[in-house]
Structure 1
Amino acid sequence: MSQAPDPNTLETDRLILRPQRVGDAAVFHQLWTERDARVPVHRQIGPDGRPTEADIVSHIRAQQGDSGLGLLTVERMGAAVIGYCGLVFNGNGEADEPELAFELLRSFHNHGYATEAAWAVISRAADFGYPRLWATVWDWNVSSRRVLEKLGFRDTGRVNADSRHGRSLLTVRDS
């Protein structure tokens, strides 16, 4: 007997986007170690070594059971975990409208995976009744800006943060 598909899992031609599992923590920790030095300190591994892989495991456990609208693990079809993509409710756009977030291991940049994963999330968001999505991106993050442009996001002209880390630009996509 075949198992019914998980309603919180998305599939594309090359990717599976699924709820996060404790076993994903090692890859998520690696994402933290690969981050550009220009990102704010709270998004980098601190001098105390945190977040540790155990911290990330605790976070994943706390999120388990969320709907398919949160951050999903991205894995290549029949292969390994390569990052995450999904929706967060940070309040950076309009109230009660989600923000698209994605991050992939550097070795998987420039292969179209972020765009492919994000299209699946955008489609899911529309199914859940969210025709408009927001995204923030650092002005210096040319790769992510290019992904957002391909997805139809446009710069709102609003800067969420202007600091020594650069300018965090707010973008929006209307379906």
Structure 2
Amino acid sequence: MVADMEGDATPGSEVVLETSRLLLRPWRVAEAVVMRELWTERDPRVPPHRRIDADGHPTLAELEDSIRTNQLWSTGLLAVEPKASRDVIGYCGLVDSGRGPAGEPELAFELLRRVWRRGYATEASLAVLEWAKSSGHERLWATVWDWNVASRRVLAKLEFTETERKEVNAVHGTTLFTTRRL
């Protein structure tokens, strides 16, 4: 259930979503440590620009600065925290990556490995889908690596369907494009 949906990802708006077990809300600078942990846990097949590089970038300070200055972390990719623990475990939300049709945001989610297989990604994503629908979106899309079986399962549970569009990368695998009508 979505308890509070203030704004529609416009400048200055703050989005807060709530489910029975989760709170999705803007990131706090002090939580950059969780964001960095997500970066360190990423599969080695993920492209280098999405992993910690040989020089240690992004650093904790760089991630803190990103939270402080990038609206994406307050209105797009929301921090996910279980109500029981109040610890941030990842993110879920909507982004405009420029890879999809104009006006159709992409659903994105990523959770710490230690909380996988608890249904949190599906639950958080359902709240984001409701938020997107109430914000007037008619369709969402999501990309997923062909080798990322767990995320493909989440998208299937959310009734996203694979399209004909694919981006093949000989090193990192194939990116599958999926869509869902709201």
- Which has the higher mean CA deviation after the structures are superposed, 156-165 or 93-102? 156-165
What is the CA distance between 1:155 and its match in structure 2? 0.4
- Counterparts of 1:62-77 in structure 2, within 5 Å, are 62-64=69-71, 68=75, 70-77=76-83
- Quick one: which of 11, 29, 33 aligns to 2:18? 11
What is the CA distance between 1:6 and its match in structure 2? 7.5
- The question of whether the paired residues in 1 share the 8 Å contact of 2:160 and 2:180 is answered with yes
Deviations 1:20-41 (A, max 9, x none): 1102100010000000011001
- The question of whether the paired residues in 1 share the 8 Å contact of 2:19 and 2:124 is answered with yes
Q: Please list every run of 5 or more consecutive structure 1 residues that lacks an aligned counterpart in the other structure.
A: none
Residue 48 (str. 1) matches residue 55 (str. 2): yes
Residue 100 (str. 1) matches residue 110 (str. 2): no
Corresponding residue for residue 38 of structure 2: 31
Counterpart CA distance in 2 for 1:78 and 1:103 is 19
What is the CA distance between 1:67 and its match in structure 2? 6.5
Q: Please list every run of 5 or more consecutive structure 2 residues that lacks an aligned counterpart in the other structure.
A: 7-14
Corresponding residue for residue 58 of structure 1: 65
- Which has the higher mean CA deviation after the structures are superposed, 28-37 or 57-66? 57-66
CA RMSD between the two structures = 1.6
CA gap 1:65/1:101 in 2 versus in 1, 3 angstroms: closer
Counterpart CA distance in 1 for 2:17 and 2:92 is 11
What letter corresponds to residue 152 of structure 1 in structure 2?
E
Give the total of aligned pairs: 170
- State TM-score, norm by structure 2: 0.89
Over 4 Å off, 4+ runs: 64-67
SS in 1 for 2:117: coil
- Quick one: which of 155, 160, 171 aligns to 2:167? 160
Residue 139 (str. 1) matches residue 146 (str. 2): yes
What is the CA distance between 1:62 and its match in structure 2? 1.0
What letter corresponds to residue 41 of structure 1 in structure 2?
P
What letter corresponds to residue 111 of structure 1 in structure 2?
R
Counterpart CA distance in 2 for 1:120 and 1:6 is 10
- The question of whether the paired residues in 1 share the 8 Å contact of 2:79 and 2:91 is answered with yes
What is the CA distance between 1:127 and its match in structure 2? 0.8
What is the CA distance between 1:78 and its match in structure 2? 3.6
Aligned sequence identity (%): 56
What is the CA distance between 1:63 and its match in structure 2? 2.2
